[in-house]
Amino acid sequence: MAQRIGIAGKGGVGKTTLAGTLARLLARRGKKVLAVDIDPSPSLASAVGIPEEERKNLVPLSRMLDLIEERTGVRPGSSYGQMFKLNPKVDDLVDRYGVVAKDGVRLIVLGTIDLGGGGCFCPENALLKRLLRHLVLDRDEVLIMDMEAGVEHLGRGTAESVDVLIIVVEPGTKSIETAARIRKLAEDVGIGKVVAVLNKSLGKDDFTRSKLADIGIELVGSIPHKPCIIEADMNDIPPIDSEDCSEIVSAIEEIGEKLGLPD
Ligand SMILES: Nc1ncnc2c1ncn2[C@@H]1O[C@H](COP(=O)(O)OP(=O)(O)OP(=O)(O)O)[C@@H](O)[C@H]1O
Ligand SMILES: [Mg+2]
C-alpha cells in the first residue's frame, strides 16, 4: 500500500492538479492526508481548496527566516561560514504551520529547496531536508508531495521510503525527456518505484506509452485534456469541486486505484 507519494514532472504538466485532487480523493475516503508543497511557486493550496484570503497569508517555510534561525542557529544569507545545526527540531512544524484544507486535507508549504549544484549547504536547506525526512519516515499520514522536477532534496535515507514517484507527462516529447532525467535522479537517490501518468491526454496515449517504454517507465494512466480545468481555475475552484471536471476526477481516481493507494 503506497503511503508516501511524490509527484514530479516538467513545468506546467499538471503535477499540482494531480497532487491536489489525489489528496482530496484520499481524504474523502477517510484517510489522514498531508499534502506537501515543495514547488518554488507554490500553488497546491488552491488545488486543495484553500480560499484566496487564506492563501495570501501562507508563507513557505523556506522564507521564515526567524524560524530557520531559531532552529538551525544561523539566519539564512547571514554568513555561510557559520556552523549550523544539521539536526534541527522539526517534529512540531506540521502542527504549527500546517493548514487544514477541504475534506480535511492538511497542507504544509515548504517552498524552494535550492538544488543548484546538489543544493546549497545552508541553514534553510538543512531545516527543510530534515523536515522532509521527518515527514517521510516518522509520520502516519498519507503523504502527497508536489515536487517540481528535482527529487534530490529527498536525499538518501529518505528517498528509499518513498513508495512511488509519479512523473507527470503531457502529449509530445519534451516532458518525456524531462521524465528520463527525473527517473535518473530518482534512481540515484534510491526511490524504488517510478511510474508515469499522462495528463492533458488527447487520446493518443500509445505514442506516449511507447516513448516511455523506450526509457523504461510504465504509463499507469491518463487524464483527459479538458477546458473545464481552465474555467474552474478562473473561478478559483479546484477541479474536484467542479461538476464539469468529473471525467478528470474519475481518471485520477482510477490512477489511484491502479497504484494501490490506500482505500
Ligand atoms: N487535464 C487538463 N486539461 C486541461 N488543462 C489542464 C489539465 N491539467 C492541468 N491543466 C492546466 O495546465 C496548467 C498547469 O497545471 P498545474 O498547475 O497542475 O501544473 P504543474 O505541473 O503543477 O505546473 P508548475 O510546474 O507550474 O507547478 C494549469 O493552467 C491547469 O489548469
Ligand atoms: Mg505546480
- Domains in the chain: boundaries: 4-258
Question: What's the whole-number average pLDDT of the chain?
Answer: 91
Residue 98's pLDDT band, with cuts at 50, 70 and 90, is very high
Q: How far does the centroid of ligand 1 lie from the alpha carbon of residue 20, in Å?
A: 11
The more confident residue out of 195 and 79 is: 195
| Cα 95 from chain centroid (whole Å) | 19
Å from CA of 185 to ligand 1 middle: 23
What's the 160 CA to ligand 2 centre distance in angstroms?
24
Higher pLDDT: 95 or 150? It is: 95
Q: What is the pLDDT of residue 148?
A: 78
pLDDT of residue 263: 61
Say how many Å lie between the CA of residue 206 and the centre of ligand 1.
21
pLDDT in tens, 145-198: 999 767 877 888 899 999 999 999 999 999 999 999 999 999 999 999 999 999
> What pLDDT is recorded for position 261?
74
Q: Within 6 Å (CB) of ligand 1, which residues are found?
A: 9, 11-17, 39, 43, 148, 199-200, 223, 225-226, 229-230, 233, 248
Output the pLDDT for position 95. 97
Write down the architecture of domain 4-258 according to CATH.
3-Layer(aba) Sandwich (3.40)
CA of 224 to the centre of ligand 1 (A): 12
Give the per-residue pLDDT at 170. 98
Nearest atom, ligand 1, residue 148 CA: 25
- Counted residue by residue, the chain has a size of 263
pLDDT for 214: 96
Task: Give the residue, out of 24, 229, 236, 254, with the most ligand 1 atoms within 8 A of its beta carbon, to mutate for a pocket test.
Answer: 229
- pLDDT over threshold 60, residue 99: yes
**Ligand that lies nearest to the alpha carbon of residue 232, given by its number in the listed order:** 1
The confidence score (pLDDT) of residue 33 equals 97
24-35 per-residue burial string, b: 16 or more CB within 10 A, e: under 16: bbbbeeebebbb
**Nearest residue CA, atom 3 of ligand 1?**
225
Span 14-23, average pLDDT? 97
pLDDT class of 97 with cuts at 50, 70, 90: very high
- Indicate if the pLDDT at residue 93 is higher than 60: yes
Mutate to test the pocket of ligand 1, among 10, 17, 222 (most ligand atoms within 8 A of CB): 17
Ligand 1 closest atom vs CA 229: 31
Asked if residue 115 has pLDDT above 60, the reply is no
Nearest CA to ligand 1 atom 9: 14
| pLDDT tens-digit series, residues 46-76 | 999 999 999 999 999 999 999 999 999 998 8
Is pLDDT above 80 for 114? no
What pLDDT does 154 receive? 82
**Quick one: average pLDDT of 86-98?**
95
Mean per-residue pLDDT for 89-118?
Answer: 88
Question: What's the CA-to-centroid distance between 40 and ligand 2, angstroms?
Answer: 9
Dmax over CA atoms of the chain, in Å, equals 55
Ligand nearest to the CA of 9: 1
Which ligand lies nearest the alpha carbon of 226?
1
> Which ligand has the nearest atom to the CA of 149?
1
Backbone angles phi, psi at 105, to 5 degrees: -65, 135
Q: What percentage of the chain has pLDDT greater than the value 70?
A: 94
